[in-house]
Structure 1
Amino acid sequence: MHQKAVELRRAVKVARRDRIRLHGSWIGIVVLALLVAVPTAVTWKRYDMAPYNVPLLIAMAVLAVVFFATGTTMDVKSVDQLRMELELAEEARVLHAVENARPAQVRQFAYKEVLPQEIARLGAESRRYRRWHNWLQMALILCSAGITAASAVYDPPQPGKGIIIALGASVTIITAVSGFFKFRERGFNLQQTADEIEQHLTALNLSIAPYNQANEADNLRQFTSAVEALRTEQRKREQQLDQPHQPQNNAV
């Protein structure tokens, strides 16, 4: 039951991603076609638009390949159908779990056994966010250096004005993306939670404080409560990062 639900959840994610890629590619083709057709028609026989149209046509060809490749590999079932199957599978899984309910201590022990996978998942997400942060910072450094170099090379600014404008816009976009998604903060919070859970798990396995009581069931109960508190705190921090920044107004 659980495996079927996992497979359907993955299928929903893949179908949603394919649908976004399919719609995004044909929208991109239409936009690029307009960017080629409209300026060419306006400047017909007055200005050679070939240097600008060639890259746009290449991008259109790439998007067309993505469109047809995605259309031929997409699942026949729609996202709504897969979601319906997922809901039915989740209901069946819950009913199966109710019919095969286990004692609390057994569930707590099973919870402890799956924690290494949770720690690995948190660490992987933390590394992914850190990579995003590092790549964006590297792009920001390169764009900033490119603006300085282009300003020095093209003096007066023409014909490098377009390059300087593009690099300046890239700096603005990268800064906005970094500030909006907060990759560094998310990676730090995830890694901190993973380290704290691993610390509790090690203390429980080695029977050291605070899990050095004689009754193993009490240790397991206390461990489960502590780890769930850490995961709840992690979710709260994620929600705080998702909230827009609201500057405080200082009274004069």
Structure 2
Amino acid sequence: MTQPLSQSDGATTTDALIEHRREIADLEERIKNRRLQVIGLHGTPIVVIAALLLWVVLKISFWLHSNTPGVIDNTCSFAAFFSGVAVVAQLAAEFNKFWIDARTPLRKLKLDLSLATERHILEALRHTPPPMDRQASYRERLPAEMSRLRKESRHYRRMHLLMQWMLFVTSAAISAVTAWYDPPQPAKGILIGLGFTVTVITAAAGYFKPRERAFNLQQTADSIEQHSTALELGIAPYGESDQSRNLELFATTVEGLRAEQRMREQQLDQPQQGQQQVI
């Protein structure tokens, strides 16, 4: 059975865990920056070569026996010049170690991140707090989870509204253009474009289902908030005098709500026939 920690031991453990999390976050940021540096080191020379090859291909294909237009010459030369400057600057920063992780393989940084994560897990297991403390901590993390759910819900709701308004406008535009041009030969291209837009939006709305995703996310966030408020006020189903029992029931209920949300997301990602079989 886990022994309760004293106040000084708990503070020391908390500081150690926070330090591990800072180390992990720092390594994740360094890996992200190093990946961009590597992409730049390998990508800018390719841009230089591509710009020169493009100029040669255009010259041979269209202007073999005449002068190339100034726009083509200027565009290709500027692209090659600025990419070449970027190559020189990046190589100087790499070999003179102006960057924090210059000349450091990504594999080494990923290994350091894996080891830091392992140390954090072992430290957390070595000083595991009692279940009641973990449940109380779980409760304090829920506002951020509810905020995330509502943010995603607003995103999908806005996507759904945008798709619906585009459908309204394009559908009305098809009728308006057809009525305006009779016969519709001068506006044939516009009608084709509008019909294509309607088809794409309808297919995208049916595939991604933003309205259903927004509804599910908002429903889960509201349910979690309802249980959190009930626990805070001490009302049913969290009216028992034993606070540890209330926290245990609260954590179990919220995890069940989150599991239902994940199941609904999986059902939305499946084809219609697969959804019917799951249901």
User: Would you call these one fold, judging by a TM-score over 0.5?
Assistant: yes
Q: Which has the larger radius of gyration?
A: 2
Aligned to 2:162: 135
Unaligned runs of 5+ in 1: 42-56
| 1:214 partner amino acid | S
98, 108, 131: which is aligned to 1:104? 131
Question: 1:230-249, aligned counterparts within 5 Å?
Answer: 230-246=257-273
Aligned to 1:150: 177
What is the distance in 2 between the residues matched to 1:160 and 1:154?
7
Aligned to 1:48: none
Aligned to 1:229: 256
What is the distance in 2 between the residues matched to 1:131 and 1:201?
27
> Over residues 33-54 of structure 1, what are the superposed CA-to-partner deviations in whole Å (9 max), with x where a residue is unaligned?
9xxx9xxx8xxxxxxxxxxxxx
The answer to whether the aligner puts 1:161 opposite 2:188 as a matched pair is yes
State the secondary structure of the residue aligned to 1:234: helix
> Over residues 181-211 of structure 1, what are the superposed CA-to-partner deviations in whole Å (9 max), with x where a residue is unaligned?
1111111001000000000000000000110
Per-residue deviation at 1:161? 0.5
| 2:235 partner amino acid | I
Over 3 Å counting, the alpha-carbon distance change for 1:87 and 1:164 in structure 2 is farther
What is the distance in 1 between the residues matched to 2:217 and 2:205?
17
Per-residue deviation at 1:12? 7.0
Aligned length: 210
What is the distance in 2 between the residues matched to 1:169 and 1:195?
38
Over 3 Å counting, the alpha-carbon distance change for 1:104 and 1:16 in structure 2 is same
Question: 1:6-21, aligned counterparts within 5 Å?
Answer: 6=25
Aligned to 1:95: 122
The answer to whether the aligner puts 1:188 opposite 2:232 as a matched pair is no
Aligned to 2:21: 2
What is the distance in 1 between the residues matched to 2:273 and 2:185?
41
> Over residues 47-98 of structure 1, what are the superposed CA-to-partner deviations in whole Å (9 max), with x where a residue is unaligned?
xxxxxxxxxx9xx99xx9xxx8xx999x988987776555444323212212
> Over residues 13-52 of structure 1, what are the superposed CA-to-partner deviations in whole Å (9 max), with x where a residue is unaligned?
8999998xx9xxx9xx99xx9xxx9xxx8xxxxxxxxxxx
Q: Identity, % of aligned pairs?
A: 47
State the secondary structure of the residue aligned to 1:246: helix
What is the distance in 2 between the residues matched to 1:120 and 1:241?
22
Unaligned runs of 5+ in 2: 1-19, 63-71, 91-100
What is the distance in 1 between the residues matched to 2:237 and 2:21?
34
Across the aligned residues of Structure 1 and Structure 2, the Cα RMSD in angstroms comes to: 3.8
The answer to whether the aligner puts 1:176 opposite 2:195 as a matched pair is no
Worse overlay, 129-138 or 145-154: 145-154
Structure 1's consecutive aligned runs of 4 or more residues displaced over 4 angstroms after TM superposition are 6-19, 75-86
What is the distance in 2 between the residues matched to 1:11 and 1:193?
35
Normalised to the residue count of structure 1, the TM-score between the two structures is: 0.69
What is the distance in 2 between the residues matched to 1:10 and 1:164?
49
Question: 1:207-218, aligned counterparts within 5 Å?
Answer: 207-218=234-245
